[in-house]
Amino acid sequence: MADLKQVILIRSDLGMSKGKIAAQAAHASVEAVFNSNKKLVDKWHRSGMKKIALKISSKEELLKYLSMAEDMDLSISKITDAGHTEVEPGTLTCGAIGPGPEGQIDKVTGELKPL
Amino acid sequence: MADLKQVILIRSDLGMSKGKIAAQAAHASVEAVFNSNKKLVDKWHRSGMKKIALKISSKEELLKYLSMAEDMDLSISKITDAGHTEVEPGTLTCGAIGPGPEGQIDKVTGELKPL
């Protein structure tokens, strides 16, 4: 089986603090794990849970990449913030793709830069 | 049952980038979920997965809080980075506590500031 990884796509246009980014990224990662096939998650867990945070510059861009991933049957998460603190209620802050085969995920997000 | 939350403790003394912090925080969060009781995780998931990132200023401080949490039978994770990029191999970067009852977790980390 191919190497597995997860990518976390985080909007850089919202000016979120480091702490906000950390919590939202964790939220996206865990939610995508819940949305994934359990056997795939177990294998990914045993192999070290490779994950990387990537930079997204708008809501539209984030939705585009998540939709591409869904079209490839990759598991995803979309995180909307309750907006108690730094952003407006209902703001889409980030999302995650996978865990899934590295090659498939790279077809979707291979051009994105690390956050 | 009490409200549940997870706290993610992140070292601010390592000068990690936002992207590094995001990936390490997600790692800590997911690993602590794997280490937790499944019923507790399900309840936390259904209630919105409350989580917050807190600021830690040294390895010793991080170990101290995680040890206090273990002594209270809270689930934890400790994340050591492979050191391919920003930090030395084997560096303890962060950890998470919970999900667990908010009151119990606040007894451990209630004095810490948000990251």
Asked whether the beta carbons of residue B49 and residue A29 sit closer than 8 angstroms, the reply is: no
Nearest Cα of chain A lies from the Cα of B10 at a distance, in angstroms, of 9
Query: Using CA of residue A25, residue A28, residue A32, residue A33, what is the dihedral sign?
Result: positive
User: Which among A103, A48, A105, A98 is positioned nearest to A76, based on CA atoms?
Assistant: A98
Disruptive mutation site among A30, A79, A86 for chain B (greatest number of B CBs within 10 Å): A30
Whole-prediction pTM value? 0.96
Comparing B33 with A83, which gets the higher pLDDT? B33
Query: Using CA of residue A44, residue B18, residue A72, residue A108, what is the dihedral sign?
Result: negative
Q: What is the architecture of the domain spanning B4-95?
A: 3-Layer(aba) Sandwich (3.40)
The two structure tokens encoding residue B45: 């998931």
Per CB-CB distance under 8 Å, the chain B contacts of A41 are none
Q: What is the pLDDT of chain A when averaged over all its residues?
A: 95
Is the Cβ of A40 closer than 8 Å to some Cβ of chain B?
no
Lowest mean pLDDT among A35-44, A85-94, B6-15, B37-46: A85-94
**End-to-end CA gap in chain A:** 28
Contact criterion met (CB below 8 Å) for B57 and B29: no
Is the Cβ of B86 closer than 8 Å to some Cβ of chain A?
no
Of B29, B34, B114, the CB nearest to A26: B29
Per CB-CB distance under 8 Å, the chain A contacts of B52 are 19, 23
What is the tens place of the pLDDT at every residue in B60-89?
999 999 999 999 999 999 999 877 778 888
pLDDT the model gives residue A43: 97
Query: Using CA of residue B13, residue B19, residue B20, residue B22, what is the dihedral sign?
Result: positive
A62-71 average pLDDT score: 98
pLDDT the model gives residue B73: 96
Residue A40's CB: how many other CB atoms inside 10 A?
Answer: 17
User: Can you give the C-alpha Rg of chain B in angstroms?
Assistant: 13
Contact criterion met (CB below 8 Å) for A82 and A114: no
Contact criterion met (CB below 8 Å) for A36 and A98: yes
Asked whether the beta carbons of residue A30 and residue B34 sit closer than 8 angstroms, the reply is: no
Nearest Cα of chain A lies from the Cα of B101 at a distance, in angstroms, of 18
Is the Cβ of A19 closer than 8 Å to some Cβ of chain B?
yes
Of B25, B48, B82, the CB nearest to A22: B25
